Amino acid sequence: MFNGLIPDFYGGKFSGEVRVFGSLPSPQTAYMVHQNPYEQITSLRVTDELIFPSIQSGRDSSDARKDAMALAEEFGIDHLLDRPTYQLSLGELQIVQILAGIAAGKKVLLLDEPFAHLSRRNAERLIKILEDLFCVVSDHRIEFMTYFPEIIDLGTEIPEGETTEPEIGDAVFEGVISLRENEIVAITGDNGSGKTMMLKRIAEEMRNQRVDFGISLQNPNYSLTEKTVFQEIQDEGIIREFQLNNLRERHPHSLSYGQAKRVSIAKAFRHSILLLDEPTAGQDVAFRDRLLKILRKNRKAAIIATHDENLAEKCDRVVEL
């Protein structure tokens, strides 16, 4: 509603009125950075991606470039400026999209899940830059909410801290990382450190060793291929476990990022070993806590690439890149 996409673009009923700094909502006033950075990418080079929104708004290209370069240096991503955008990790791409939104210089900056794919260090860097801006942030990583002067809680459920002791068995995979039965291993590291690449290498090794494994990719839509959520998962028990009953007849590509992520993880659950890339991105606090309980209850072995420190702390072992 801040930038006029509702009601001007989306359907449905709209009542009441919205004013932003006394004016009707408009993209000229508010810039929105989407939850999935892949949806917003427009350029092949990082430099061009950073300046594109500013040039769209009518700024001189040389001025836009100068400001974008300064912002990239402040954030510490100047080493990425000449890189192709398609070579960036999802976290790096998210940083680029956020900085492009900041460089656009609108009165209001709207950020949807900006911390979902960021390491703590980069999240804190971003928060420091946001201190001087008027911004509205929607995010599930409530560990960062104390940094903001005003908080609107739409119903956060913080679960009980109950844990289950793991029963670790014999080795079920020996490769770049060893894994034992029922063991849950976290891979951590800064944005661009190679967590996703490591997970892909493990998947390749498992495939060569004919190990039974399922994978949930960082972008869930890459692994969703059926017409309904039920057809993706094909297991009533898992659908209930992941609280997806109300979505069972929905097309997977009509879901929100967080819902699609949960379906992607549930789909992988038919296998005994799971490779999960940022499984808690876009998830509420209750599911972030419940995920490990579901893994333990179903006696799954898993390797998880994650920026979620709370999740990593509860895993059996942490491998830091």
DSSP string for 67-118? HHHHHHHHHT-GGGTTSBGGGS-HHHHHHHHHHHHHHTT-SEEEEESTTTT-
Contact 261, 90 (CB under 8 A): no
Compute CA 110 distance to the chain's CA centroid, rounded to the nearest angstrom. 16
Domains, the chain, ordered by start: 5-147 (3.40.50.300), 171-320 (3.40.50.300)
Residue 313 phi, psi (nearest 5) = -65, -30
pLDDT of residue 9: 87
Partners of 7 in beta bridges: none
Q: Could you tell me the pTM of the whole model?
A: 0.90
Written as six digits, the tokens of 274 are: 């799971």
Helix, strand or coil, per DSSP, at residue 310: helix
DSSP label at residue 166: -
* DSSP SS3 for 254: helix
| Cβ neighbours, 10 Å, residue 254 | 10
pLDDT of residue 11: 77
pLDDT, tens only, 222-277: 899 999 999 999 999 999 999 999 999 999 999 999 999 999 999 999 999 999 99
pLDDT in tens, the chain (321 residues): 999 999 888 878 889 999 999 999 999 999 999 998 988 999 999 999 999 999 998 999 999 999 999 999 999 999 999 999 999 999 999 999 999 999 999 999 999 999 999 999 999 999 999 999 999 999 999 999 999 999 999 887 777 656 667 789 999 999 999 999 999 999 999 999 999 999 999 999 999 999 999 999 999 998 999 999 999 999 999 999 999 999 999 999 999 999 999 999 999 999 999 999 999 998 988 888 889 999 999 999 999 999 999 999 999 999 999
Q: Report yes or no: 206 and 301 within 8 Å, Cβ to Cβ.
A: no
Contacts of 279 (CB under 8 A, 6+ apart): 216, 261, 265, 291, 304, 306, 311
